[in-house]
Chains A and B, each alone.
Chain A
Amino acid sequence: MRETIIDIRDVSTTLGGHHIHRGLNLSVARGEVVALIGGSGTGKSVLLREIIGLLKPQAGRIELFGQSVWDSTPEQMNALRRRFGVLFQDGALFSSLSVEDNVATPLFEHTALPHATGRQLARLKLALAGLPPEVAGKRPSELSGGMRKRVALARALALDPELLFLDEPTSGLDPISARAFDTLIRLLADSLGLTVFLVTHDLDTLFSIIDRVIVLSDGRVLGSGTVAELKTIDDPWLKDYFAARAREEELMHGN
């Protein structure tokens, strides 16, 4: 049995009078690439924010690496933050800093490295994320959406985390960039031994790089397994979801 890295027990969340999660349980083991899917408003992003310590659930327990996120002291939480990286939906790069400084910021904040070394490491991470060296000096506003995501990925990887959170990594990208980004994530996950937890709507991502899919519905986990296993679950939303893909393939073969 592999070590459990994310452990969520009986989490309940109420936002603005709506019950988002009702006693939600899930766990992720080391080395897995897991996708969280669910219809709009099922609280995928909310759950992600709860795991990374941005939003406190009303009840339940969330553990990362066996340590509770919401019962830690600020020092413990900071130590925990060094072990995971987050890629926000539109990158969330710091607009006032250059690309290089964006990636180096976690190094400046969490390590005592000299700034020159930090910047060197940042350039290394940018290369790792598949970016050419000339972007290092640019501003985030000068980059395309796909490049911004790669910079954000480099920043998430800056501290060599064991765990990576991705919020809709392929949203807003054209299909070619999206597939390239998927491949990059899988490549990094395999070569760096990362555990990846991503929230997505993108069926192609599910079919290409994911080990296990977790489906949220009605505030709970509806099912979890490979895509093939999920197709056997009898749920209207899930059936519609996969049917969209089937229709797409029919159209493609028809042409």
Chain B
Amino acid sequence: MLHLVARHGALAGAPPAPQPAGVLALIGRGSLAIGGHVVGLLDFIGRLFFELAALLRKSERWRWREFGAQVNAIFVGAIPIVAGMLFLLGVVFAYLLGSQAQQYGANIFVVDGLLLAILREISPVIVAVLVAGRTGAAITAQLGTMKVTEEIDAISTLGLSPLAVLVIPRMLALLLALPLLVFIGDVAGIVGGMLVTRQQLDISVYMFVDRVADVLLLKTLLVGLGKAPVFAIFIALIACRMGLSVTRDARSVGEHTTSTVVQSLVAIIILNAIFAVMFVRLDI
């Protein structure tokens, strides 16, 4: 046996150890990776538009059953966690705001601040982050595994387009589910805040609701809800593209799932910043 090892070892010789990469090399590689993601995403959007155009012409090819199953998985399954998280965030936010406002006797303004923060920023962003982690990762892992087991190839050889069968139903389901979830988050956050203001600041439920009716602008609600579809499109695009670009092994599924969550979170934060600047400039 040792002879066998010696014979093969002698032929091959030890391969040189890979050089540790320098900072510049890492930055370069990182930039190339980001560039690759952007190009890949644009290419994916282009192909998706072609597919959508084809689907619009042949309306009988819409996958309503898949769409329904996805809405069920994305929306119904996420209600408890969204409501729970936003309720607790409402509690925390009202506490913090309340302890500051109490010092100036500005108790009732806690309601104003709570509404603005929950409806405009916290609920859309937190719900989008939750959905990116929950649904985005699930979509990538599922499509990636389907790629590995050749299910995607089987779909293609049946003359179906994986984009029409798998991607578009998921996209539309996210587009529908995310605004609804944000609204549920809005309500849960306000209820959480309401409980705290009653306990800590002696603002009764009547006073709270009265104040909400006074200060809540429809605009505040719509700004928050309006961000949701944009987040949804980006989560769906990133998750589906990463899923379909899995190569044929399990490691790649893991890497792509991680990448989906990271890319989605970065996209959500960047988009939210753009929205914030845009709304201020436009005086909304």
Q: Are A88 and B150 in contact (CB under 8 A)?
A: yes
Q: Tell me which residues across on chain A come within 8 A of B150, comparing CB atoms.
A: 88-90, 92
B151 contacts A106, CB within 8 Å?
no
A49 contacts across to B, CB distance below 8 A: 153
- Residues on the A chain within 8 Å of B149, using CB: 90, 92, 95
Contacts of B69 in A (CB 8 A): 96
| Separation of A49 and B159 alpha carbons in the complex (Å) | 14
User: From residue 146 to 196 of chain B, which have CB atoms closer than 8 A to chain A?
Assistant: 146, 149-151, 153-160
Q: In the assembled complex, which residues on chain B have CB atoms less than 8 Å from the CB atom of A106?
A: 158
Across-interface contacts of A110 in B (CB, < 8 A): 158-159
Number of chain A residues close to chain B: CB under 8 A: 21
Contact B156 A54 (CB under 8 A): yes
What's the Cα separation between A86 and B149 when bound, in Å? 14
- Per DSSP, chain A at the interface is loop
Binary B-proximity of A74-105 (CB < 8 A = 1, otherwise 0): 00011001100010111011111000000001
Are A109 and B151 touching (Cβ within 8 A)? no
A88 & B158 in contact (Cβ 8 Å cutoff): no
A109 touches B159 (CB 8 A): yes
Residues of A within 8 A of B156 (CB): 53-54
Q: Please, which residues of chain A bring their CB within 8 A of the CB of B158?
A: 81, 105-106, 109-110
Whether a CB of chain B sits under 8 angstroms from the CB of A52 is: yes
| A92→B155 CA distance, assembly (Å) | 9
| Assembled-state Cα–Cα distance A95/B153 (Å) | 14
Q: How far is the CA of A81 from the CA of B69 in the complex (A)?
A: 28
* A residues less than 8 Å from B154 (CB atoms): 86, 88, 92-94
Shortest distance from the beta carbon of B244 to any chain A beta carbon, whole Å = 13
Residues A78 and B157 in contact, CB atoms below 8 Å apart: no
Question: Chain B 131-152 against A: per-residue CB contact (8 Å), 1 yes, 0 no?
Answer: 0000000000000001001110
Asked whether B160 lies within 8 Å of A109 as measured between CB atoms, the reply is: yes
Which B residues from 98 to 118 make CB contacts under 8 A with A? Answer: none
Q: How far is the CA of A77 from the CA of B153 in the complex (A)?
A: 15
Per the bound structure, the CA–CA distance linking A96 and B155 in Å amounts to: 13
Distance between Cα atoms of A53 and B151 in the complex (Å) = 15
CB distance from A81 to the nearest CB of B (A): 5
Chain A min CB distance to B19 (Å): 22
A86 vs chain B, min Cβ distance (A): 5
Least CB distance, B162 to chain A, in whole angstroms: 11
Closest to B66 in A: A96
Minimum CB distance partner of B61 in chain A = A109
Note all chain A residues with C-beta closer than 8 A to B157. 52-54, 81, 86
Question: What residue in chain B is nearest A81 (Cβ atoms)?
Answer: B159
**Residue of A whose beta carbon sits closest to that of B154:** A92
- Say how far B154's CB is from chain A's closest CB, in angstroms: 4
Q: A78-B159, A106-B158, A109-B159 are in contact. Are A54 and B153 (CB under 8 A)?
A: yes
A74 smallest CB distance to B (angstroms): 8
A212 to B156, CA, bound (A): 29
Closest chain B residue to A86, Cβ basis:
B157
What residues on B are CB-neighbors of A86 within 8 Å? 154, 157
Chain A residues 91 to 144 lying within 8 A of chain B, measured CB to CB, are: 92-96, 105-106, 109-110
Min CB distance A183 to B, Å, is 25
Nearest-Cβ distance from residue B228 to partner chain A, whole angstroms: 27
CB neighbors of B among A36-57 (8 A): 49, 52-54
Q: How far is the CA of A52 from the CA of B151 in the complex (A)?
A: 15
Q: How far is the CB of B62 from chain A (nearest CB, A)?
A: 14
Partner of A95, one of B151, B159, B160: B151
Q: Are A94 and B151 in contact (CB under 8 A)?
A: yes
| Residues of chain B contacted by A53 (CB below 8 angstroms) | 156-157
Cβ-closest chain B residue relative to A55: B153
Report the 10 A-B pairs with minimum CB-CB distance, sorted nearest first.
Answer: A92-B150, A92-B154, A88-B150, A78-B159, A81-B159, A86-B157, A92-B151, A52-B157, A106-B158, A54-B153
7 contacts between A and B (CB under 8 A): A49-B153, A53-B156, A77-B159, A90-B149, A94-B151, A109-B158, A109-B159
Chain A residues in the interface with B (C-beta under 8 A): 49, 52-54, 77-78, 81-82, 86, 88-90, 92-96, 105-106, 109-110
Known: A95-B146, A109-B160. 8 other contacts (CB 8 A): A54-B157, A81-B157, A86-B157, A88-B150, A92-B149, A95-B149, A105-B158, A110-B159
